[in-house]
Structure 1
Amino acid sequence: MIIRTIQEAKKTERHIIAEDWETIRLLLKGDGMGFSFSVTTINAGRESPPRCYQHHLEAVLVIEGEGEIELLDENKIYPLSPGTFYALDKHDHYILLAKTKMQAICVFNPPLSGKEIHDEEGSYPAEAEEISV
């Protein structure tokens, strides 16, 4: 069994902090579950650059805040609020806007290794360095 708390994970490499967002990666590839599980917080007013996970599929459940996701290939905008779930099941191109501080649960398949950062195309690499904790 794997048991972790957010407070404990925040003290490790599982806590990734960027300028206007942060994520706590509670479950990673090295944990052997076949998917990764993160809690991500996005600051109010942040609009992501265009993203497209070419090597991963992502499922997201918004648990706090208001925002929207724009699917660029469909030219559609969907509102996001607590309880909204979305899955980027077709390697969708998107932009995410946090109107207020947002928090979400994110699941990736294949699992993240831990040290992924977005590349210039808004994707994570197929493989990344694994963290040791």
Structure 2
Amino acid sequence: MIVRTLQQAEQNGRKIISPDGNWDSTRMLLKDDQMGFSFHITTIYKGADFAMHYQNHLESVYCISGEGEVETVADGKVYPIKPGTLYILDKHDQHFLRAFSEMKMACVFNPPLSGSEVHNAEGAYELEADALDL
């Protein structure tokens, strides 16, 4: 059994801050845990408005707190995000995420992240990144 607290994960180097200043993500469960997916608690900062396109991963995102919206590029649809909303990027959907207030999100990635990933120029995570030395 694996047991971790958010505070422990943050203190043990699992908190990654985006270089562009839009988010931070504490990686609670990673590839090395051998569960087949990774689990993150991510904070999207108020006023963030950025593009993502997870070409190598599928992601599910559950909003714990805050409000914003997600817009799919393919069809221009805009979906409001508020506490209790789950959105699922099941087709590697290219999208924009906008935070009207600070948003706390629970995120699951498949395949799992190694730990140190940040978005590349296309708004994706690379398939293989260096694992965190935890």
> How does the TM-score come out when normalised to structure 2?
0.96
Aligned length: 132
2:53 is matched with: 52
1:76 is matched with: 77
Give runs of aligned pairs for residues 61-72 of structure 1, distance below 5 A.
61-72=62-73
2:12 is matched with: 12
* Residue type at the aligned position of 1:54: Q
SS in 1 for 2:32: helix
2:39 is matched with: 37
For 2:25 and 2:127, how far apart are their aligned partners in 1? 19
Question: What is the root-mean-square deviation of aligned Cα atoms in Å?
Answer: 0.8
Gaps of 5+ in 1: none
2:30 is matched with: 28
1:126 is matched with: 127
The one-character-per-residue Cα deviations of 1:10-67 (angstroms, maximum 9, x if unpaired) are 112211123231110000000000000000011111111x211011000000010000
Identity percentage of aligned residues? 51
For 1:29 and 1:85, how far apart are their aligned partners in 2? 23
Post-superposition offset of 1:76: 0.4
> How does the TM-score come out when normalised to structure 1?
0.96
Post-superposition offset of 1:80: 0.2
